[in-house]
Structure 1
């Protein structure tokens, strides 16, 4: 029977939302078990302890009996561990007290298959759900709940509210940390506390009664064993009797206990009945009294509501007054900043124009420098070739010197030989004279021999004279060559002096370049500072934007609030006027009787009312002041819009400044490149100067050599020279073609730069159009603001009309109040007014605190304003630095133009020098050939002389 009754209960319980939620942690009974097996797995406590471990992993791992095998004691042990963990988690981590009765572990352990058992398991699951929803992994568990069906989700949500929000089940202890509690929060808290106290006292009494009953039963059971011990010697039938007696005594004790309980319950119920009757009588009396008080309070509340509404409106206006005053002062301070920003914008525009002009100039210079750099490579190659040729020329010069020395030695030997020949000729002449003297005495044949000898000597003399003349010519030529060599040595000395002078100039130029590098580094640092200052400006602009947006939102909210208050005042005035007239007619009849008694008390109340009226007048004055401040606010809003326009303009200028800074950085990079090229060009100029000097020397030497070679030119040498010249011209043509191609590439680059400039111009035009659109939008916003101002004016007029109507109503109420007030009602009014005064004082204190906070905010804003002024000063300094940088850039441009001109002249000189060097090379080769020929002729002459001597 029990199983038949429990099975539908079990099915209902297992399909409940709490069980479906628990199943999200893992399958019960292996996932394939029946409802009964799943229920047993729940009741055993092993699965629920694992769930608690997932919720609170930090919990102390107590030993859980995993194999229960339907043992009640083991089951109770597992469940008691779980209940302790839940209780500690609520108290320690969640800071909550479990006010509901804890799940009875004995019922679940001993009678799990009953309705009471399922109810206790439900309690356990409820508390587990509260832990899961409020733990650290709550997001994960909530996601699991959301994955369930809609109905189960709704049911689980209801259970969550039951555990978390219901103070009767779980009591929150976090209110103990709060220093100040509001009255709205304290009243329900006290009610809950009182109910919980009452329940605890009832439970205490019930537990004390059960303790008394259990102690009596224990005493009875103590006496029974003594009696059984006395009768035990009688044998086995005596033992049976004692057992039956013990059983009967136990039943007797149970019956007595039940009788006592029933008696106590009867007494309690009779006492409760009496208490209820007394409470009923008291409640009836209180009801009558409360009805009378309610009638009195209604009349008082009606009169007080009007004052409250007016007070609230005036308070709001007073709050607005302070806000508006602070805003007015802030906007006045900002007006000064606008003028400075205007001047700043104009300065930036001028700077922008100057930078654009400098950019165009620098681009032109860049093109020139690129062309020069292309030509420089060619010049370097030519320079290397010239150096090689010079080295060859020097080698040839050394060879020529050696040959000249040899020729001088030969000349000396020839002079010595000439002297010897002269001596020999004299000796021969003397011999001839002697022979002539002897021949006069000799015969005719002897005369013929002397004549022959004379002829031979005369012929030798003629030959020797011819040789002497040729040798003299060669000596003169050699002497002229030696003179030219001495002239070249003097030129070399001059060239060395000039080289020293040029090296000094080089050092000076290097120093100047170092200074220029330092100035460039300074300009780079200044540009970095400008970038930082620009970032600060952007931050300040963003702050101004946010402030303006907040102010607009506040104004819109205030406008909506005013509209709502106007509508509510109209409704109240319409409803209250009709209702009051009817109530006044009824109350006038009742109040005529109590006029005589209340006249003395009326005087006191009138005095208090005068004070209240004075307060009202003060509030009205504040309201008028608020209206004035609102007008000022409208004016300041217009000024704010103008400021926003200026801010947009400043943003655009900031963007332009960024572009200019980028261009400036690009130009600085280009300047560095130009300086490098200038350094290389200066080195080339020095090299060219040295080459020019060497070329001039070579030219002079060539002229001298040409004079000597003109007599020895040959047609074959000319042909070879022409061929060499043709080859060199062809190589020069190829180099020129390469240079032309490089020039074309540079021209293409310039065309690309022009295209990019055109794109920048189009972007500038687009930005100007965007500016015009933004100005149009601002005009639209101004028109909308104007409309809002007109609406505010109409609302203010409506407010004034409502004030006039409220004044009329007040006059009527004054006339009626003289008749309305009774003694008891007046005392209550006094109390009520005192409460209201307290409340108003509290509100005034709150307002004072808000005022202090606003003052602190204003002081912070003033500090920010000062910091902004400082930033502006820094920006001015940075603009001055920019101007200085621009001047330096202009100077650099001028220097670059001068360097360009010098480069052009140097290139022309290089070309001329190349031609000269080529001619010199040709002349040198010719000289070499002629010298070789001269050397051969001399050898032949010497050979002939030696043969003639022999």
Structure 2
């Protein structure tokens, strides 16, 4: 099986892959593919079904006229159908949705993939190549057309060389822009590194602050425990003092026994008074309880005030911590956004690198073509040398034949020979210079390619290293978080142990209080014996009740403290959980704190053991003393009974004592009312303070929200200004690029105009001289008719005449070639003038746009400065000058536009609408404009803005299309030559 048949079968298999049913026609499948590839073009053209629509879409994509007979293209496979299908495959692969079609091709078999890839490469390399049924006419034209040394081939090669030069220039500019983007990426990487260092410094500061807070907490805990120890010591001292007083009473007991003996007769009366005393005692107990409650309330109020102050300080610290947490969270989110942006930039750069690699492959193919052209050009001088040698030989023979007849003609021929040699030298020097410049540009391109690849690989390595560092930091943070959680669990266990110790101490204190209560009850029984003893015992009882109230207050305070500790522990757990989630790197040195905490716990346990041992010793002493007091009380009661039997008290004394007791009760009631009023006043003040605190917190939140809104507005303004400045910079670069191209085109136009003027003068000189030679030839023919001779020299004269005529025909052919070259140069000059006008219009529009952008930027800056002056902040221009390296990425739309300007890919961006009028106008200009240069240049070219979507045509295609010799002109010239002969 032949390769052509295999490619055709693979094309049909590719088409059948997109068929809905096996009976579907080829035309409908092709139109469906083109609709998928170019939906906008098909919708705008509004074409009907058939091969005409396919040909129109392909002509618009390839920007050429396809000479295809649509009636001969059928469902059967032939050369034209395969050529059309190849062009459809090449267009579909180069469209915007090319990934889908490439994936479909890759899903096919290997043999079909290889055939389709070969077809795509052929279409990309050769372009449009459709077999035409007028191939015989083209072969005839090729036979008639000149050989390798013809000016047509020379100009086409020059056009290709110019095209390659332009593409090389565009590639250089693209490489420069890519290098700039690499520099921007390196700058951003440096910014990220600096931010990372700042974060590390911030973490170190947070760590130091945490250490300071831990030391403060440790000192506060030490102070609390010292206060607790001091209170316990004071209680022990008070109990010791009471024991000393009781010893004094025991020493007074034998002295009072005599008095008891005297007071025994009064015992009966005392029994009657017991009931009244019990009533008064109950009232006294109630009043003493109220007094104790007042004292307790005052103490609790003072403690609440202190705790409120401590909580306010904690709230201030918590606000600072929360602010720092928010800042750290914002920095972490910014870093995550930066990482995502860097990853997107990496993906974009990889895509650009892939595109650049594809473009480099195409450029390498073009360079190979240019090398082949250079080789052909190097072969051309040798052939031209052979041709010139032959022409010199012919001229010498002509000269030898003419010198015998006319010496003046001989002189003219020698002068023409000299001028031809000069022209040849000039053309050889220009071709050599162009070849050298092309070789230099190829070397520059190879060096630029190597440097670009080196920079790309360096950036890839740096990005990989940064990703590895990020992974390591994340793992390190995870390990630190796990360690901190374990330490927090240990801390909670230690806290539970401490709470258990506190509860045990509370139980011991309760037992001590119960023992005190029993002692108080026993002492109250002894008051029935004597008034003095009763007074002293009542005083002792009041003191013991006060101690009991104090102990109850202490128990309540301990309960409150335990509840507050539990609430604080819960709040602490919440805050620690938040800190562990949001600040993973600020708890690096909690190990030292835990070690100090363990040491503190050991010290605390040691002190508690000492306290328990002291309390146990005191308890033993207290039991011994209590037993001794019980014995003394028993003896005292016996003595009092004896004394009551002996002595009695008068009614007047009891009435005075009752009055005094009533006065004391009234005073105690007044004090109770005053304490209640003070308590209500304190409650009202505390409520007002709490309300003011809530109002302040709400105001603080509102102020923070306003500050955040202002910061967001400023950041938005800064981002918009940076984007506008980047747009202005890009427009400046485009303007410089267009001005450089204008200067290059002006220089090329000047060179071509000078060259065309020289050629025109030389052609005119040759024409005048050839006219003179023709006149002389006619004169010689007339003389020959007059001077005919009957000798045998007639045969020699006819041969010389034929030889001379052939040489004259060759000179006329050279003249026609020179005229054709002149037309081609005029065409090139006209095209360059039109492009210059279009570029001038584009430059004017770009300058207008740059001015508009500058005015908008100045307007924004003025508005920002006014706002900053009203708020009393520094202006945005100062902030922009201080922060020259902005962290914002350039606008993606401008980058894509810039890449589209740099890339030379053929895409179906504009709509191609072929009409009959445009084709007629093109033919008329091709026929009439090239013959008369003055008429051609006198035509006014339309401005570039009249057509909103101009067709993008290649310069080489334009030259090759318009430089095809006209058959009618050739036939006319042949007829004129025949008439002259």
Same fold (TM over 0.5): no
For the pair shown, which has the larger CA radius of gyration, 1 or 2? 1
TM-score w.r.t. length of structure 2: 0.32
Q: Does 1 or 2 have the higher relative contact order (CA < 8 Å, sep 6+)?
A: 2
TM-score w.r.t. length of structure 1: 0.32
More helix by share: 1
